[in-house]
Amino acid sequence: MRNLVKRKLRAGKPSIGTWISIGHPDVAMYLADLGFDWLVCDMEHGPFGPETYHFMAQAMLYNRESCMPMARIPWVDLIWAKKALDAGATGLVMPRIETAEMARDAVRFMKYPPVGERGAGPRLAAFRDPDYFATANEETLVVVMIETRRGIENIDEIFSVEGVDACFVGPSDLSLDMGIHRQYTHPDFIAALDRIVEAGEEHGVAPGMHCTTAPGPTNINDAIARGFRFCAVNSDVAFLRAGATDALRGIEGWSHLEEAEEPEL
């Protein structure tokens, strides 16, 4: 196993991916072919589990050397972690990390002994990879989500945990927990972003965030300029809706809101 995302982040370069919440292999297959560094399939809020994820990661096999299959699991849990990793995930995004103990659990659940507790049954992950057991501990990407005030308060302790490679900010969740939901230009939210970047630089953890193409602090280019490097831009649903909306708006003289003509009696 060779994780190109890890190499980019260690070199201080941005690594760009996107979020998948539609549980179908075709979505992963088509997005993996476009040039993203990684795709995170969302099993926390997405309506699918390990079985569907297996087929989504399988659909990425053709592009696995250039686009890394990843997953966000619902919680820091050994069973969820090993099922996602065995299905082919090259890294996991662990939600709502608030303490160093939770970060240590995240690392422990993702690594084989003697470092961690992952069991030996990699299935798709080791397909055509005879070196998988020798490389997995080093190459799997551990991403902790910082999405609460408590996570910000304990960020130095969290980022000091050996094995944590990157963090990921969910702007909606973080601002919700801070009592300023979606107020992304609020001074407190901006200060929180700067604190995450500062701590990441100090502890060698790549800062990351879910970004959009809209203006503001969560804009993908603004986030990279601020120091974020593990960045998702939009999502499968956002791309689908944006493409369909643009197509409908391009039809001259048509609107689905127009009332149909009354039939002649």
In tens digits, the chain (265 residues) has pLDDT values of 999 999 999 999 999 999 999 999 999 999 999 999 999 999 999 999 999 999 999 999 988 789 999 999 999 999 999 999 999 999 999 999 999 999 999 999 999 999 999 999 999 999 999 999 999 999 999 999 999 999 999 999 999 999 999 999 999 999 999 999 999 999 999 999 999 999 999 999 999 999 999 999 999 999 999 999 999 999 999 999 999 999 999 999 888 765 545 444 4
pTM of the predicted model over 0.75:
yes
Asked whether residue 245 is domain-assigned, the answer is no
Q: In which residue are the tokens 């790549």 written? A: 206
3-state secondary structure of 223: helix
Taking residue 149's Cβ as centre, other Cβ atoms within 10 Å add up to 15
pLDDT at 260: 47
Asked whether residue 64 is domain-assigned, the answer is yes
pLDDT at 62: 84
Which of 94, 237, 240, 227 has its CA nearest to residue 170? 94
Asked whether residue 253 is domain-assigned, the answer is no
Give residues with Cβ within 8 angstroms of 79, minimum separation 6.
Answer: none
- The domain of 177 spans 4-236
Taking the C-alpha atoms of residue 50 and residue 106, their distance in angstroms, rounded to an integer, is 18
Which of 234, 248, 259 has its CA nearest to residue 17? 234
Contact 24, 240 (CB under 8 A): no
Asked whether residue 261 is domain-assigned, the answer is no
Burial call 11-49: b when 16+ CB within 10 Å, e when fewer: eeebbbbbbbbbbebebbbebbeeebbbbbbbbbebebe
Asked whether residue 169 is domain-assigned, the answer is yes
Q: Which CATH number covers residue 112?
A: 3.20.20.60
Q: In which residue are the tokens 């991403």 written? A: 143
> How far, CA to CA in Å, does 215 sit from each of 184, 220, 223, 262?
10, 9, 11, 44
Asked whether residue 263 is domain-assigned, the answer is no
> How far, CA to CA in Å, does 191 sit from each of 141, 148, 178, 187, 217?
27, 13, 12, 6, 11
Asked whether residue 125 is domain-assigned, the answer is yes
Give the residue numbers marked as catalytic: 45
Contact 60, 27 (CB under 8 A): no
Which of 165, 174, 171 has its CA nearest to residue 206? 165
Number of compact structural domains in the chain: 1
Asked whether residue 250 is domain-assigned, the answer is no
What's the count of helices (H) and strands (E) in the chain, helices before strands? 12, 8
